[in-house]
Amino acid sequence: MPSPPDLIPSGLLNRLSVMAFNELWFRKAPARRRDALQSIETFFHPLDMIAEWNRIYGRRGFLQWQCVVPDGAEEVVRVAVERFSGSGISSFLAVLKRMGDANPGHLSFPLKGWTLALDIPVTPGPEPLLDELDERVVGVGGRIYLAKDSRVRPELIPEMYPRFDEWREVRAKLDPHGRFHSDMARRLSLL
């Protein structure tokens, strides 16, 4: 399995390199394909064919912004794509998926609707745009995926996760002394 070289300069993934890659990726596909089979892993996880693929983002790495919006709020997904596209912030990987029924868990991410995930190289500047998009997502009853988040504002959590107070009650019963916690739990005031 090939892997990227050890020293990839930060900034290699930029608007021009992502546009060039996307054009090549598009052009490599035949106009009609009927006689080829792919494994589920190859189709759904093409980056797994490259060992340590995350190194293409350079030493600074990347963050992933993933949201889900309920049916009827698809406009927020369109706005998010347009805002990223117009901002000059390049996303090497974008995934749009249809989600099924919501999960009743206290801090469960899935909702019936659409989820958009964008990988963004860590650079100064995307925070205001991400905060704006977080607000739009919350405004239509959507959520940010906490398992992949590194920067959402803690005051938005109760709005995104309506069963948040119930979760805190369960947590208090199971861990009354607060011994089990994480950096994410502290950052998002989940304790």
Give the pLDDT score at 80. Answer: 95
Which residue range is the domain that position 22 belongs to? 1-59
Tokens found for residue 63 = 């963050």
Of the residues 59, 76, 108, the one at which a domain ends: 59
Burial (0-12, 13-18, 19+ Cβ within 10 Å), 16: exposed
Same domain, 109 and 54: no
Same domain, 74 and 167: yes
Same domain, 104 and 180: yes
Same domain, 175 and 139: yes
Q: Give yes or no for residue 163 having a pLDDT over 90.
A: yes
Give residue 24's identity as a one-letter amino acid code.
L
Same domain, 120 and 94: yes
Q: Between 60 and 14, where is the model more confident?
A: 60
- Residues 135-147: tens digit of each pLDDT: 999 999 999 999 9
Same domain, 8 and 76: no
Give the pLDDT score at 92. Answer: 75
- Residues 2-37: tens digit of each pLDDT: 666 665 666 666 667 767 777 776 777 777 777 777
% of the chain at pLDDT higher than 90:
45
Same domain, 26 and 112: no
- Residues 110-126: tens digit of each pLDDT: 999 999 999 888 887 88
Give the pLDDT score at 86. Answer: 86
Same domain, 16 and 87: no
- Residues 66-122: tens digit of each pLDDT: 999 999 999 999 999 999 888 877 777 888 999 988 888 899 999 999 999 998 888
CATH number for the domain including 181? 3.30.70.2520
Same domain, 84 and 100: yes
Label the pairing between strands 62-70 and 143-144: antiparallel
Same domain, 47 and 83: no
Strand order in the sheet with 143-144: 93-99, 113-121, 62-70, 143-144
Of the residues 59, 79, 95, the one at which a domain ends: 59
Give the pLDDT score at 176. Answer: 93
The total number of structural domains that make up the chain = 2
Tokens found for residue 170 = 């369960």
User: Are the beta carbons of 48 and 93 closer than 8 angstroms?
Assistant: no
Same domain, 54 and 120: no
Of the residues 31, 59, 87, the one at which a domain ends: 59
- Taking the C-alpha atoms of residue 155 and residue 188, their distance in angstroms, rounded to an integer, is 8
Same domain, 81 and 23: no
